[in-house]
Chain A
């Protein structure tokens, strides 16, 4: 085939009034394209689907869909309970066909994956299709992307929703509503050690649709006859990242605050920020109604959470400023103002104000800051090829984060782009690709900037994945719950659990079982963290963070010795 000829034919339907090549008359009735220039990527085209000849478009699409041989791109695969699917390969990122950030697993992880893969969900196809069609209808009636930021964000979410579930919608065409449809999924552990479903599953569905689309019929292992239709109960750990991080760092005050139901931790933080603002009068822009203003609560929550995920305050503040309806007017500065000799840039002022806020919090805040700084140090000082290496506290497997330093190179006459090991050098718009050769064993040089940003969030996620794995294991081994859905720090189990073993524990409500499970694994979780403390201390040995690492390990040892096990607070519903 003639690749350039196909490409040229596709992009001829330009929106330009004076196109270089005349458009194809029929294709022009179906779509047009406009150039989307970028300094880093090849000129792509934005595609505008036209309404001029809907009948023709429908006829073409139906002809394509009717073809049983043709495999369309599937964004989210629907796996029916009795469908065959190949097992997932090793999880890794790939650069120039060489794997990195490779996820290694030992048997305990495989066992948890197996438990998760044993779950069968009832999929309410009729409800799903109704919701999907409503979204498509809305977008069809509002084809232009809104200009207002907040509407634009909601619109983009709707577009993503349609794209995400298009293949599921197409697959379920013709399903008979009266018959129950059961689905399953394959699972994997990601580089941050979290467990994820690979196929269409509640994890990928917005929270408001989970209950509408999914249910469960059987609740326990060993029952041949299906139990009556059952629904799920859900619980998640409130402020989970903060509760887990506080326990890891041995910050009992923070652990207690983050576990409170009233006020919630984000409300506590907001009150602290408001108090600082009332005292100094130069922290927040005018426009917030007070510490209870939901926009301010959302503003503070985003800062706390994304900072702990390794995000830069300058970027967070800028992004939140784009959505004033959701986050309010923000810090007292013009966030988009450029700096000059007399005045600092807006983002610099925002960073200073945020730092003042974090410094105004009780002493635990400085420990959290030190932890984040230590993680940055670990990324900065990592071996240039090996990256950062830890052990997974759950299965003992090696965790290795070695993101490759990559840059874009255009290949061949067709200008295909590859993200190869290398960097760009030279002036803006005239950058050259400089390759970075591999070491003796074929590994590429790491991207230190990226590694610096990912150590803290990956480490914290590895801790919550460990907790998640323990909860799943105990639900399966002790209560014989077959159908469990885990979404990071939240779990769904059947509302009624009918197992003979339940009598031993005197439980039959799924919610009660889940609450007990979350409560009892805290001790095992904390005891198992020893290897993380040891490796954390070894990695920062000889640095300004050594004493900090030794201190948190000492606090952990004392707590384990005293058997003061964490009991993380759970909410009844995932947000």
Chain B
């Protein structure tokens, strides 16, 4: 999930810092409906998932691992929900679970009335 830009490719540290700052303006984990860090840590411990393997090469460090662990909890819960309701697990389903919690572009599209990724514009999905 990269910063909204007009070019594709790796995100610079500066861009990322700027994006994080804007994301933080929206509130903390609670206001985005993300699981708490301690929940994420506990779930990863129980399932034996190393959050460091879920970060990109350019995104290392404890902060990145915390976010990756939180994202894993959301993703795993999405799998469980799909299993319980006999729904298919798709990339769209995963994106629709993660992006409202971490992507400003996605949230902005939701505020414009698009509830899920299927209804969003190509530009928004590229920026998400």
Tell me the A466-502 residues at the B interface (CB within 8 Å): none
In the assembled complex, which residues on chain A have CB atoms less than 8 Å from the CB atom of B23? none
A sample of 8 inter-chain contacts (CB < 8 A) reads A1-B54, A10-B94, A30-B47, A67-B35, A159-B86, A166-B85, A418-B122, A420-B122
Contacting pair A411 B126 (CB below 8 A):
yes
In the assembled complex, which residues on chain A have CB atoms less than 8 Å from the CB atom of B7? none
Chain A residue nearest in CB terms to B122: A411
Contacting pair A69 B119 (CB below 8 A):
no
Taken together as a complex, chains A and B put the C-alpha atoms of A230 and B33 apart, in Å, by 39
Listed in ascending order, the chain A residues whose CB lies under 8 Å from chain B are 1-3, 5-7, 9-11, 24-27, 30-31, 33, 36, 41-42, 44-49, 56, 59-61, 63-64, 66-73, 75, 89-90, 92-97, 99, 145, 156, 159-160, 162-163, 166, 409, 411-412, 414-420
8 A-B pairs besides A27-B76, A70-B39, A415-B91 with CB distance below 8 A are A5-B53, A10-B89, A26-B46, A56-B47, A64-B35, A67-B39, A70-B34, A70-B74
Contacting pair A414 B95 (CB below 8 A):
yes
Residue with the greatest number of chain A CB neighbours at <10 A, chosen from B42, B78, B90:
B90
Within the complex, the shortest CB–CB distance from B16 to chain A, in Å, comes to 12
Within the complex, the shortest CB–CB distance from A122 to chain B, in Å, comes to 28
In the assembled complex, which residues on chain B have CB atoms less than 8 Å from the CB atom of A411? 122, 125-126
Tell me the B29-67 residues at the A interface (CB within 8 Å): 29-30, 33-36, 39, 42-43, 46-49, 53-56, 59, 64, 67
- Partner pick for B59 among A2, A96, A145, A414, CB 8 A cutoff: A2
Contacting pair B121 A96 (CB below 8 A):
yes
- Partner pick for B109 among A59, A95, A97, A166, CB 8 A cutoff: A97
- For the complex, count residues of B whose C-beta is within 8 A of A: 65
In the assembled complex, which residues on chain B have CB atoms less than 8 Å from the CB atom of A162? 84-85
Contacting pair B29 A49 (CB below 8 A):
no
Contacting pair B117 A2 (CB below 8 A):
no
B98 at the interface (CB under 8 A from A): yes
Tell me the B78-128 residues at the A interface (CB within 8 Å): 78-95, 97-98, 102, 109, 112-115, 117-122, 124-126, 128
Within the complex, the shortest CB–CB distance from A8 to chain B, in Å, comes to 10
Within the complex, the shortest CB–CB distance from B2 to chain A, in Å, comes to 10
Given the known interface contacts A67-B36, A69-B30, A94-B115, the answer about A48 and B46 at a Cβ–Cβ threshold of 8 Å is no
Taken together as a complex, chains A and B put the C-alpha atoms of A10 and B90 apart, in Å, by 10
Taken together as a complex, chains A and B put the C-alpha atoms of A61 and B67 apart, in Å, by 19
Contacting pair B122 A27 (CB below 8 A):
no
Listed in ascending order, the chain B residues whose CB lies under 8 Å from chain A are 1, 29-30, 33-36, 39, 42-43, 46-49, 53-56, 59, 64, 67-68, 71-95, 97-98, 102, 109, 112-115, 117-122, 124-126, 128
- Partner pick for B33 among A6, A61, A63, A70, CB 8 A cutoff: A70
Contacting pair B97 A69 (CB below 8 A):
no
Contacting pair B83 A418 (CB below 8 A):
no
Contacting pair A49 B84 (CB below 8 A):
yes
Contacting pair B125 A73 (CB below 8 A):
no
Contacting pair A63 B89 (CB below 8 A):
no
Closest 7 CB pairs of A and B: A71-B33, A44-B88, A163-B85, A47-B83, A44-B90, A70-B35, A49-B83
Taken together as a complex, chains A and B put the C-alpha atoms of A415 and B125 apart, in Å, by 10
Chain A residue nearest in CB terms to B73: A64
Taken together as a complex, chains A and B put the C-alpha atoms of A453 and B33 apart, in Å, by 40
Chain A residue nearest in CB terms to B51: A1
Taken together as a complex, chains A and B put the C-alpha atoms of A1 and B94 apart, in Å, by 13
Taken together as a complex, chains A and B put the C-alpha atoms of A195 and B25 apart, in Å, by 38
Taken together as a complex, chains A and B put the C-alpha atoms of A45 and B117 apart, in Å, by 18
Residue with the greatest number of chain B CB neighbours at <10 A, chosen from A2, A26, A92, A96:
A2
Taken together as a complex, chains A and B put the C-alpha atoms of A204 and B36 apart, in Å, by 32
- Partner pick for A73 among B42, B53, B76, B81, CB 8 A cutoff: B81
- Partner pick for B54 among A5, A49, A60, A92, CB 8 A cutoff: A5
